[in-house]
Structure 1
């Protein structure tokens, strides 16, 4: 009897366990079904972006921006045409009426994109106007047609009220906020494109911005052309040999910030056929190093690239005045430093959404024989 009783008890516990597992699966699939229902529609195939999901639903498009600093969502945007009524079954998210006609844009990089998409007139206001170099917007600022809202770190809400924007394009930072802009009654578009980990992933955000501005087809066409050209140049660069040892940037105060190997620039240097001397540094941003560590690893570099923003050109003499230690690097001794004054050149504006242009420049710098006749558009040899 004990054997029969034990067997029955054992079967009972097995049945309970099976039922528990079945219920768990039902909950999981039920949650998935709800999630799929929330974003029901045609999901766009993202070619490179790890942070964007775009689904075209019935009467709206849902755009999910993943959190670059953790798990889950940073934001979900629900793009609803301005000439349509709001669908009753909208999921939770930030409603954005499209196309956006009056935007507050906090970054000159995104101002340039408005111009390329043919909607420069939709820039109603900017911050940090001194770093906006796009010709149409600079002219509009001078005529008072675009409102200057001051510093992006201390936005003038009085000027924002004058501009009366439909939305603001802002830059998110880890554990950061938006100050007074958090209290506005218009949507904040969090432009986390710079947190992508490859040049083509970053550039793919043009597809999101195109949908916000009523230029989806134009944006998709631009991105397809960017990918095609980038892939061609990457194959060309793979034939370059030897790979020049590369050093980048300058010492800043007590640290020398170099792009990590997994950053967009670290990856682009590799794609361009360089032996980037700090590719071993982990991360997707910049890494602070001491001057001594940089000198130890890069004293015998072949090429040195420097970006700066100034009304005065950098020279070998001015570098020595800044820090005598620069003279110990081989590119300094052999006059093989290339500089880009971003006040005069559109490097940042082009690099974000046209990485193929930057890649072509780098291939020409590292392997000039592969692109004969190419004239540098961003960098130039530093003068004595």
Structure 2
């Protein structure tokens, strides 16, 4: 009887301690919010809130037409539902746009896996791939989950075009946390670049992320003001044919914002929409045949390819005057286009390129980062 009573007391004491610990954790995760102003200035897709004992990363609309909001508790311990321990020491990302963010924060060595590594252009990260430090995970739409499980990263940062993301659900069921990154949905160049703060909070490098972004913002706004010194606004057409459809930026898109900030007259600036417009070549020719400059003519790498692709192409004034500029020839070791990887993180360099194209007299000593004049 005494033995039973003693064992009962030990059991009660164990549950008392367990409940007490849970209450302490719960108490910590319901602590008061620290009244600090959000550091997010341009991005609409995420926010960061600070509490006494943890941080909350909020991702708004991580895919097109999403009405969901995802919240993640970031703590120094593995204690909360949907909780993620920070700083993250091993990560898998799924978009090349994430690579420059990691490199700017000096945490590229935390990347242990990536789908379709051939798309990565940065020499810094390519060296890690070539050394075997970053493993190939197959296709971004169907990651090799067996290999992912062997790697066992602390976090996967994914992106999804819609709510049908069964692969990420499977990854979460394996016990690996997933956060969807919606940087590609931002509608302004600086909004996209500000997602470095998203990665900053994951690696406990908020101050460094803020400092890097502030410098990019400063460079961008300085360049924008330089562009305004010109009284000439050259007219611009953009895009080209893909399967008989001419795709070009809509007037409210981030590409149109670039062209506006470069002090140019983008001919479709007043069109509605935040994505792209799909037009036929006759309509584009009617409106843009006398445009001064042609930016990003699909994936053609030289003027000869453009001329052979369609009879109307060579009749554009910009083509005749050889004022055609593209970023497709600047590629990494494995053929990945550097613009697609680096441009979202460095909109200041994109803007300078566009100013150099439209107003070369304003940036005489500047050399292109992404674009070049096609020959």
1 CA distance for matches of 2:202 and 2:130? Answer: 27
1 CA distance for matches of 2:352 and 2:218? Answer: 13
Q: TM-score scaled to structure 2, two decimals?
A: 0.84
Is residue 124 of structure 2 the alignment partner of residue 158 of structure 1? no
Equivalent pairs counted in the alignment come to: 336
| Alignment match, 1:305 | 295
Structure 2 vs 1, CA of residues 327 and 66 (structure 1 numbering), >3 Å: closer, same or farther? Answer: same
| Alignment match, 1:381 | 373
| Alignment match, 1:319 | 306
Alignment of 1:225-244 (within 5 A): 225-244=215-234
Partner of residue 337 from structure 1, selected from 324, 329, 338 = 324
1 CA distance for matches of 2:245 and 2:32? Answer: 46
Is the partner of 1:125 in helix, strand or coil? strand
Is residue 68 of structure 2 the alignment partner of residue 65 of structure 1? no
1 CA distance for matches of 2:190 and 2:199? Answer: 15
Shift of residue 359, structure 1, vs aligned partner: 0.8
Is the partner of 2:296 in helix, strand or coil? strand
Structure 2 vs 1, CA of residues 308 and 215 (structure 1 numbering), >3 Å: closer, same or farther? Answer: farther
Structure 2 vs 1, CA of residues 85 and 103 (structure 1 numbering), >3 Å: closer, same or farther? Answer: closer
1:249, 1:307 within 8 Å by CA — same for their partners in 2? yes
2 CA distance for matches of 1:125 and 1:353? Answer: 21
User: Higher RCO, 1 or 2 (CA under 8 Å, sep at least 6)?
Assistant: 2
1:247, 1:304 within 8 Å by CA — same for their partners in 2? yes
1 CA distance for matches of 2:167 and 2:180? Answer: 15
| Alignment match, 1:353 | 345
1:195, 1:284 within 8 Å by CA — same for their partners in 2? no
Structure 2 vs 1, CA of residues 169 and 373 (structure 1 numbering), >3 Å: closer, same or farther? Answer: same
2:193, 2:213 within 8 Å by CA — same for their partners in 1? yes
Is the partner of 1:137 in helix, strand or coil? helix
2 CA distance for matches of 1:177 and 1:71? Answer: 11
| Alignment match, 1:75 | 70
Shift of residue 127, structure 1, vs aligned partner: 1.1
Partner of residue 110 from structure 1, selected from 90, 93, 98 = 98
- Of 295-304 and 65-74, the range deviating more from structure 2: 65-74
Q: CA RMSD in A?
A: 2.1
2 CA distance for matches of 1:70 and 1:373? Answer: 43
| Alignment match, 1:46 | 40
1:350, 1:358 within 8 Å by CA — same for their partners in 2? no
Is residue 278 of structure 2 the alignment partner of residue 284 of structure 1? no
| Alignment match, 1:31 | none
Unaligned runs of 5+ in 2: 1-29
Shift of residue 73, structure 1, vs aligned partner: 4.0
1 CA distance for matches of 2:159 and 2:255? Answer: 19
Unaligned runs of 5+ in 1: 1-36
| Alignment match, 2:13 | none
Alignment of 1:1-384 (within 5 A): 40-41=33-34, 42-67=36-61, 69-70=64-65, 73-81=68-76, 84=77, 86=79, 94-173=82-161, 175-184=162-171, 185-306=175-296, 314-341=301-328, 342-344=330-332, 346-383=338-375
Structure 2 vs 1, CA of residues 294 and 238 (structure 1 numbering), >3 Å: closer, same or farther? Answer: same
Shift of residue 377, structure 1, vs aligned partner: 2.2
Structure 2 vs 1, CA of residues 377 and 236 (structure 1 numbering), >3 Å: closer, same or farther? Answer: same
1:255, 1:290 within 8 Å by CA — same for their partners in 2? yes
2 CA distance for matches of 1:290 and 1:233? Answer: 34
Q: TM-score scaled to structure 1, two decimals?
A: 0.82
1 CA distance for matches of 2:69 and 2:315? Answer: 45
1:64, 1:73 within 8 Å by CA — same for their partners in 2? no
